[in-house]
A and B are shown apart, each in its own frame.
Chain A
Amino acid sequence: MRKLIKDWGGIITAFTLLILVRIFLPLPFTIEILIFAIYTMGLNFLLGRLGFISFGQPAYLAAGAYSTAIYLFYFGSNPYIGFLVGILGGLILTLIIGPIFVRLRSDYFALVNLALSVIFFFILQKALKNITHGDNGLWYLTKMSSTPFLDLGKPNDFFIFTFFITLLIWILFKYIDRTIFGASCLATKTNEDKLKFLGYSNFKIRWFSFSLANTVTATAGSLYAIYFGFISPSVTEPARAADVVVVTLLGGLGTLYGPLVGSFVYTGLKDLVSGIITHWELVIGILLVVIMLAGEKGIWGTIQPLLKKVQLRITGKEA
């Protein structure tokens, strides 16, 4: 029992807090935090475990969002199937491009991802205009059928659904961290040669983690698509690629709670600041530089040792 609390205490606290947030703060705000947290978890894994930074995350977000949107607009009306189609879309995309991308060095990887999001933007806006309706986007809010249990068309039900998806993905990443796979991911980041020596295939590990991380990103995209009932190419705007990078670092790179903390602070800050300052870039930019110069630990990375101390004091010497 004690072990259970030690292992899961943090997450129980975190998600309880989230439910409190849900009670005291407006629903759209809470939903945004959750989806953004999923979005961030993908990059957090990529950067924190593999050391790959990507400025092209909107591309994967769009892959999920547009797969869902196209299904709901042209083929069906069940949002649950739409959701699965979105995840599948992300998975297929990452499995196809993964072998090319993971061979690249980390700096090229970042730039090529950026390029990918630009290609996506042009494809969605211009090249496939017949299907995506270009800048007008696709509207299908009214086409979504309601389901008897957890109707995703209703914000409250959608919140519950998103809440459990977030929890599920969080548990998945926590589980991965403990497996040999998680360890070998970290090893690809820190010491490639040693890993080769041990007989693990770098390439396969990277390919799998790349697909996993960005399928999670696509999942976030799919949730956005269902939540808004509308999608336009602006999701892939290259200028927006910074958001997720900022949140990942803001929360604390490579930590499990980082994405949750980061999304919460970022979404809150954005709501507060945008009332006062109209030019959001200035704030994000300075925030980013400050986080990096302060030692890239982020909020969670900074408070975690403090929390440990408090916990130690409360539980006595047991640790």
Chain B
Amino acid sequence: MNVQLLISSIIFGLSIGSIYFLLAIGLSLCFGLMRIISLDQLLYYSIGAYITYTILTFIGSFWIGLLVAMIVAASVSLIVEKLVFKRIYEKAITFTMITSFGILLAGVGIIKYIWGLVPRPVPSPIHKQIILLGTEVPLYRVIVILIAIFIYIDIWLFLNKTIVGKAIRAGIEDAEKVEGLGINVYWLFTLTFLIAGGLSGLGGGLHTPLIMVDPHMGLEMIPFVFMVVIIGGLGSIKGTLISSLIVGQVISLGALIWAPLSNMAPFAIMILILIVKPTGLYGSKLLKR
């Protein structure tokens, strides 16, 4: 096989994996701490994409757009948390899953009202190609990968080195005991939801130059993001990282072999992993409290 093709495929896979990671990490944290499945994260992803597109159109700066996208996505997630999730944290997982799916659908409807049905293209902010191991690769994709690495390091530092992060980690094990120590876990819930929403928005914004922005982008993303979360194991940060790398590579290398494989192979791998380990690679037996 052509080495240059292989290298550019790997970079391609890493860059999609990075986007998946940004979306899946928030979902995974939300599941771990609050035991909710927050399908509405895909709404914040779409909002992030549309805000980036809008700011780019009016102000002309992709990077400012990205920043605003993160802020808007996080704010919307905060509103949803206060309006809906506050009332349903105690409920069963399937309950939160259905409710959040309703939020996602309603959000898609609103997006259609504001921006219409027509898919919008977003030009890449960086057209430069760089040479990596003798292969020309788009600089933008490399930057996406670097941003994801930066975010991973930040999250790792936050969870391991700050007291709030430690409280979140402890909460993933047993939120009730954290509350018993006098820590306001509901505040931790809100914070985690906010972080997840912001990261989803960032993921959406970063994804725009690589795809078309359209109202259904969030819905189309669901299977892939959830595949990442499932393969990694719900609630595991390390698992999410590893599985987003795997899924990204399977998609891009699968496409090299046979085009339809890029869409189907990851699902086949997911089902294989679940046959061997029904809780995913790093998933523990976290149950509803």
Which residues of A approach B to under 8 Å, CB–CB?
47, 51-53, 55, 100, 103-108, 110-112, 114-116, 118-119, 122-123, 126-127, 238-239, 242, 245, 249, 279-289, 292-293, 296
Interface-facing stretch out of B151-159, B179-187, B219-227: B219-227
CA–CA, A103 and B110, complex, Å: 38
Beta-carbon contact of A103 and B278 below 8 Å: yes
CA–CA, A249 and B98, complex, Å: 10
Which residues of B approach A to under 8 Å, CB–CB?
31, 37, 84, 87-88, 92-95, 97-99, 101-110, 112-113, 216, 219-220, 222-223, 226-227, 229-230, 234, 259-260, 263-264, 267-268, 270-271, 274-275, 278-280
Residues of A within 8 A of B113 (CB): 279, 282
CB distance from B57 to the nearest CB of A (A): 22
Q: A242-B105, A286-B102 are in contact. List 14 more A-B contacts (CB 8 A).
A: A53-B94, A55-B101, A100-B275, A107-B234, A110-B94, A112-B270, A118-B223, A126-B260, A279-B113, A282-B112, A284-B105, A285-B104, A288-B102, A296-B95
Beta-carbon contact of A111 and B226 below 8 Å: yes
Q: A55-B101, A104-B274 are in contact. Are A281 and B108 (CB under 8 A)?
A: yes
Q: A53-B98, A122-B260, A288-B98 are in contact. Are A115 and B227 (CB under 8 A)?
A: yes
Q: A122-B264, A285-B108 are in contact. Are A112 and B219 (CB under 8 A)?
A: no
Residues of A within 8 A of B279 (CB): 105, 108
CB distance from B243 to the nearest CB of A (A): 13
CA–CA, A100 and B271, complex, Å: 9
Residues of B within 8 A of A111 (CB): 37, 226-227, 229-230
CB distance from A238 to the nearest CB of B (A): 6
Q: Interface centre among A281, A284, A293, by most B CB within 10 Å?
A: A281
Residues of B within 8 A of A103 (CB): 278
Smallest Cβ-Cβ distance to B272: which chain A residue: A100
Q: Which 6 residue pairs are nearest across A and B when measured between Cβ atoms?
A: A282-B109, A285-B106, A288-B102, A285-B105, A281-B109, A289-B102
Contact of A100 among B109, B112, B268, B274 (CB under 8 A): B274
Q: A242-B101, A292-B99, A293-B87 are in contact. Are A115 and B271 (CB under 8 A)?
A: yes
CA–CA, A51 and B264, complex, Å: 28
CA–CA, A249 and B110, complex, Å: 22
Smallest Cβ-Cβ distance to A115: which chain B residue: B267
CB distance from A288 to the nearest CB of B (A): 3
Beta-carbon contact of B93 and A289 below 8 Å: no
Residues of B within 8 A of A285 (CB): 102-109
Residues of A within 8 A of B259 (CB): 126
Beta-carbon contact of A288 and B223 below 8 Å: no
Contact of B88 among A104, A115, A279, A293 (CB under 8 A): A293
Beta-carbon contact of A288 and B226 below 8 Å: no
